[in-house]
Amino acid sequence: MSEAILQVRGATKVFGSRRRRRVTALDDVSLSVGAGEIVALVGESGSGKSTLGRAIVGLDRLDVGELEFEGVDYTHLSERRLRGLRRRMHLVLQDPYQSLHPGMRIGSAVAEPLQIAGAGRGAARSPEVGAALEEVGLTPAGDFLARYPHQLSGGQRQRAVLARALVGRPRLVVADEPTSMVDATLRASIARLIRELRERHGIAFLVITHDLDFAGAVAEQVAIMQQGRIVESGRTEDVFGAPRDPYTRALFRAAAQVGSIEIAASAGAEFKMN
Ligand SMILES: Nc1ncnc2c1ncn2[C@@H]1O[C@H](COP(=O)(O)OP(=O)(O)O)[C@@H](O)[C@H]1O
Ligand SMILES: [Mg+2]
């Protein structure tokens, strides 16, 4: 396997205080993503996936644990130095409406990471923005620059969010539920697109999802998360071929019954009953 671009070691995060209910969102989580590798982090709602994604890009601080990117420990970097790092590490949020401001045209939204990195106000018309839109299949790019998010279909919005992730040429994209707002056929095309972007640019992806089918289609490594812990991880074909952890098996059983992923959300309940 290639050298790790991201390493998470012993990540622990507790929300709440003594007065409010305490939630251990992350409990000693370790995970690594190789350069140019696609890793899926799979788990039902509330298992801690988004908390891990936010901690990785430095939006939340860990209580315990270490984060390393391209061989550099960034666990305790100042906010200012983290900003520099975030150009090489991009977080795509679950809901495209969180990543694409409804009042901002697609060209400006995709250009925003360039502007944060110091490009001028004309960035929305720059060749990089056009190239990023074309790369995600929003062609011809000129037709999309002036549109607003609500003038795009759900699938096109997901693509625009990926264009925005790409434009700064990151080495790692953390994509939190990139298919949560689209239907099954579009999910397959988003999986293909992510794989193409990896092939073309060697970008590593940590894809967060509660969708086992999507994880299987997109990733070569998977990590299964339950209640803040990674209960099983390994090569996708190994984990899918012969899941060893009882919780992982319950997830697959539930998925087989319902034939989709909302399944995954009910698997926890089934598991607790057993
Ligand atoms: N800012 C927060 N304050 C308090 N609790 C939180 C916060 N963020 C997440 N949690 C809790 O941490 C747990 C994990 O949440 P999250 O990481 O969003 O899970 P997932 O993305 O897998 O659905 C949940 O119990 C959630 O309610
Ligand atoms: Mg989440």
Higher-pLDDT residue of 229 and 260 is 229
Backbone Cα Rg of the chain: 19
Q: Is 14 in the pocket of ligand 1 (CB under 6 A)?
A: no
The DSSP output letter for 244 is -
Residue ID of nearest Cα to ligand 1 atom 2? 15
Distance CA 205, CA 175 (A): 7
How much is the pLDDT for 273? 31
Task: Give the number of other Cβ atoms within 10 Å of residue 213's Cβ.
Answer: 19
How much is the pLDDT for 145? 95
> What is the total residue count of the chain?
274
CA–centroid distance, 142 to ligand 2, in Å, is 33
Interior angle at CA 109, CA 107 and CA 112, nearest 5: 105
Q: Is 45 in the pocket of ligand 1 (CB under 6 A)?
A: yes
pLDDT tops 50 at residue 262: no
Question: Residue 86 CA to chain centroid, in angstroms?
Answer: 14
Distance CA 141, CA 182 (A): 22
pLDDT tops 60 at residue 259: no
**Where is average pLDDT lowest: 52-61, 105-114, 150-159, 176-185?**
176-185
- DSSP tally for the chain: helices H, then strands E: 11, 10
User: Ligand 1 pocket test: which of 12, 14, 15 has the largest number of ligand atoms within 8 Å of its C-beta?
Assistant: 15
User: Ligand 1 pocket test: which of 8, 23, 227 has the largest number of ligand atoms within 8 Å of its C-beta?
Assistant: 23
Q: Is 94 in the pocket of ligand 1 (CB under 6 A)?
A: no
How much is the pLDDT for 272? 37
Each domain of the chain, given as residue ranges in start order, spans: 1-88+172-181+203-274
CA–centroid distance, 132 to ligand 2, in Å, is 26
Q: Which two tokens stand for residue 206?
A: 């940590």
Q: Which two tokens stand for residue 67?
A: 């984060």
pLDDT digits (tens, 9 = 90+) for 138-196: 999 999 999 999 999 988 998 999 999 999 899 999 999 988 777 888 889 999 999 99
The DSSP output letter for 143 is G
pLDDT tops 60 at residue 274: no
Share of the chain above pLDDT 90, in %: 66
Distance CA 61, CA 236 (A): 29
Contacting residues for 225 by C-beta, under 8 A, at least 6 apart: 29, 41, 42, 43, 47, 48, 49, 52, 231
Residue ID of nearest Cα to ligand 1 atom 8? 51
Q: Mean pLDDT across the chain, nearest whole number?
A: 88
Helices (H), the chain: 49-56, 79-86, 96-99, 106-116, 127-135, 154-166, 184-201, 212-218, 236-241, 246-258, 262-273
3-class DSSP state for residue 89? strand
How much is the pLDDT for 119? 65
Distance CA 248, CA 267 (A): 9
Interior angle at CA 104, CA 98 and CA 109, nearest 5: 70
Fold held by 1-88+172-181+203-274: Rossmann fold (3.40.50)
Q: Max Cα separation, the chain?
A: 59
Q: Is 226 in the pocket of ligand 1 (CB under 6 A)?
A: no
Cβ-based burial of 244 (10 A; exposed 0-12, middle 13-18, buried ≥19): exposed
pLDDT digits (tens, 9 = 90+) for 206-237: 999 999 999 999 999 999 999 999 999 999 99
What is this structure's pTM? 0.90
Q: Is 49 in the pocket of ligand 1 (CB under 6 A)?
A: yes
How much is the pLDDT for 89? 92
